[in-house]
Structure 1
Amino acid sequence: METVGTRIRQRISELQLGVPEKDIAASIRMAPDVFSRSLNGKRTFTSIELAQLAERLSTSMYWLATGEADPFEARIAARHQYNFAAGSYVNDKDDDTKAVLENLELAYRQVFQGRNDEPTKTATAEEVLELLGEDFVWNFVSNIEEKLGIDVARVEGISSAYSVRAGGRYCILIPRSSNWFHQNSSMAHELGHIFLGHFNTHGEGAEESKEIPAFDFAAQVLLPEKTMSSFDWWTTGQSDVINFLWKHGVSTKYLSNRLRKLGLRVRKEVWDLLELSTFDVLNRPLEGKTFTSLAVAVRTQRAAERRFPDALVAAHMDAVAVGEAPKETLAWMLDVDPEGIEVHPPQTDAVDLDDLAATLGLAAKA
């Protein structure tokens, strides 16, 4: 029969700590004999001891106590980097990235209490595209939040995108960057992780079985095969290709890869154009362009702005005002000094002392 003690020993073995149990006991300030008796089921671990053990063993207190995945534990499906030398996907979570993810998870956990183990409602790229509507890339972030019910945060300190499930909500986290076209492909990729059901199993990891379908999902959202096939890539002029890039919000490299994947007939001048950088192509002074350099600047500046979901910020402002959340998390999201956040507790109606005394049966007798 599996007990708390067997799960603790299992976790110690998995981590390959290479230290005796007495050292584990010492790290959480438990006497070795008390720790041993608790492991062997002769004594029950206290909640404080379990919490300390969970932190020491990098696991969930809920799992140690029950043997089941914590329904409230945050889950992350990452946009992983591909190591061409190794031929596999690698997790790029350095210390800065971990800190950002932990801060975001904390921000959600402090104000939203939803479970994270409910099955994701899956959808095809075509269904998601229909929900997003026409020309969704003009304001992709807002359309994701308003039409799909998925939050989007943009912050420095990370080099690639992540999709996070915390507090019962989804949030796509993207790095601040001037390259809005990279952000678009990253957000579409993370939508793939979400709507393909990659959060329906515990302990999401970097693996090809999830990454490739997410890439395909993103391509079908940003550059549907029907749209690509209906465009004349053989006789089209440069301005038409540039307008296509702008309309669909993708990079020259992304479009080039999609054309090759679909095996479409493309003339050499188009291939040559797509060899250039996206900004070089968009800024070409050609007749027939449907956008201006000012419009490019607006997209570029917006992509470089730090942002957090309005719902998350508003929930923290309310929680801070009534003392249910610290100012530090709100300050991190707003990128301000916590001391600069003014807290105004909600006003309550004045209490009539005579009425209160009467309610408590303390009114003076006539």
Structure 2
Amino acid sequence: MAHEVTAARVRQVIKESSLTQAQFAVKAGLDAPKMSKSLTGTRRFTSLELAQIAELGSVTVDWLLGAERQLPALAARAPGAASLEVMQVIDRARRLAQFRSDLAFLGYEQNVPELPRLPERRRLVDQGSYLANQALAYARAKGIEPHEVRDIADAIEDAFEIDVAILDLPDHFDGLAWSDPEAKLIVVAASEIPARQRFTLAHELEHILAGDDQALIIDENIDDPERKKHPSEMKANSFAASFLMPEDVIREAAAGGALTEESFAQLSVNLSVSPSSLAWRLHDLRIIDRRQHEIFRRITMARAADLVGSVGDLAEWIAVSSRSRVPGRLVRGTLDAYTEGKATIRPFANLIGADPSQIRLSIDEAGVPLP
């Protein structure tokens, strides 16, 4: 039955191309007799053949297979974004998810861990911090210490195999988490406020690892106290704080005595978090009192960097966080699929926004074997 659906859709693509079956086979780079056998049911299309047909016909492999994609669970942080702008962001995420779905069909699947979670009857903040500790243990087992990595997108991809994209998004749209059976994706905004971007990455990571099944959630203001009372947001914020500022690391850093403005600033810089977030975390762990919290939370990132002589590092971090980033694992996967003869060069070229013929020439010159 599934093969009949695929054959029917391939015939539809050929018909809409205004080419004969033989002409279509030649243009798609297929063997005409083999394609004829596949259309009559005596052989199956290979994954590469379907990729070539999909490319020429401007359709997806999923559509050729007759696979109706499930709507994803979505969670977003987008204060003040208009509905049209939100839909445009979702459409960009959908295209990235389609790349991942096509790779999964070719055998390049994500292996996102299912981590232990506390029962839902437990406090929301405890659920978030517990999941963060599980995530930290999982990352550390792979030799990754997230709190030591300033540009945490790579760490998330390497530890959890979740695709991470940093894009130019509408003003005040912080991020989005996409989760469907074949694609797990985090999209955050390129930003000149790197600590906020980093917190958002950790926040969206929780939504995926926790399996949050939410419709699109838009935060009118991510700092709005009412918004923070939403159950999923409470868990995600608790997770992000514990993930980026691990309790064992915090307590070790504070073991040398009372924190001064300089030692506090150094800890903020070392952890790549905002002073205000660190002040809340220290107060929550009862390492500092309310008076110290009030003092420390007023320190700006620029002031903290100046106190420890790292203004240049802060400027570099701002420059990095302001740039777009295509998911690294997705880039590697599409290139692997091409070099291993399972896909054409076009998905890789489309993903990085390059001309396919130029990319093919560059790969050829680099000595990468061509299929």
Find 1:243's aligned residue among 253, 263, 266. Answer: 266
Counterpart in 1 of 2:244? 222
SS in 2 for 1:305: coil
Going from structure 1 to structure 2, the CA distance change for 1:136 and 1:91 (only over 3 Å counts) comes to farther
SS at 1:154 equivalent = strand
Residue pair 1:91, 1:206 contacting (<8 A) in 2 also:
no
**What's the CA shift for 1:242?**
0.7
Q: Which residue is equivalent to 1:265?
A: 288
Specify the alignment match of 1:47 in structure 2: none
How far has the Cα of 1:235 moved from its partner? 3.5
AA aligned to 2:305 is: N
Q: Could you say which structure has the larger radius of gyration?
A: 1
Distance across 1 between alignment mates of 2:90 and 2:76: 14
Between the two proteins, the alignment pairs up a number of residues equal to 269
Name 2:335's counterpart in structure 1.
317
TM-score relative to the length of structure 2: 0.58
Distance in 1 of aligned mates of 2:260 and 2:330: 45
Contact 2:283–2:290 at 8 Å: present in 1 too?
A: no
- 1:137 corresponds, among 143, 149, 153, to 149
1:165, 1:171 within 8 Å by CA — same for their partners in 2? Answer: yes
Partner of 2:135: 128
Structure 2 counterpart of 1:108 = 100
Q: Distance in 1 between matches of 2:86 and 2:79?
A: 16
Does residue 308 (structure 1) correspond to residue 326 (structure 2)? The answer is yes
1:86 is aligned to none
Compute the displacement of 1:240 (Å).
0.4
Structure 2: unaligned runs, 5 residues or longer: 1-61, 117-130, 219-229
Query: Is 1:176–1:304's contact at 8 Å kept on the other side of the alignment?
Result: yes
Structure 1: where are the runs of 5+ without partners?
Answer: 1-59, 84-88, 349-366
Please tell me the residue identity of whatever aligns with 1:136: E
Cα distance in structure 2, aligned partners of 1:304 and 1:229 = 32
1:46-85 mapped onto 2 (5 Å cutoff): 72-73=69-70, 75-81=72-78
Deviation by residue 1:32-81 (Cα, 9 ceiling, x = unmatched): xxxxxxxxxxxxxxxxxxxxxxxxxxxx99xxx9xxxx785362432334
Match of 2:6 in 1: none
Relative contact order, higher structure (CA 8 A, sep 6+): 2
Question: In the aligned structure 2, how far is the partner of 1:148 from the partner of 1:95?
Answer: 27
Aligned CA distance change for structure 1 residues 99 and 236 (closer, same or farther; 3 Å): same
Q: Which residues of 2 match residues 33-48 of structure 1 at below 5 A?
A: none
Of the candidates 152, 165, 169, which is equivalent to residue 157 of structure 1? 169
Is the contact between residue 253 and residue 275 of structure 1 (CA under 8 Å) also seen in structure 2?
yes
Label 1:80 to 1:177 Cα distance change in 2 as closer, same or farther (>3 A): closer
Contact (CA 8 Å) 2:108, 2:333: kept in 1 or not? no
CA contact 1:233–1:270 (8 Å) conserved in 2: no
Q: What corresponds to 2:159 in structure 1?
A: 147
Q: What TM-score results when the alignment is normalised by the length of structure 1?
A: 0.59
* Matched residue type, 2:155: N
Partner of 1:13: none
Matches within 5 A, 1:179-198: 179-198=193-212
User: Structure 2: how far apart are the matches of 1:311 and 1:347?
Assistant: 21
SS at match of 2:288: coil
Q: Distance in 2 between matches of 1:318 and 1:229?
A: 43
Deviation string, structure 1 residues 224-283 (Cα, Å, up to 9, x no partner) = 4455566379932111011111122211232233345455533746633422432x2233
CA RMSD of aligned residues (A): 4.2
> Match of 1:99?
91
Contact 1:108–1:166 under 8 Å retained in 2: no
1:212 aligns with 2:226: no
Cα distance change of structure 1 residues 239 and 151 upon mapping to structure 2, 3 Å threshold: same
Helix, strand or coil: the match of 1:216?
A: helix
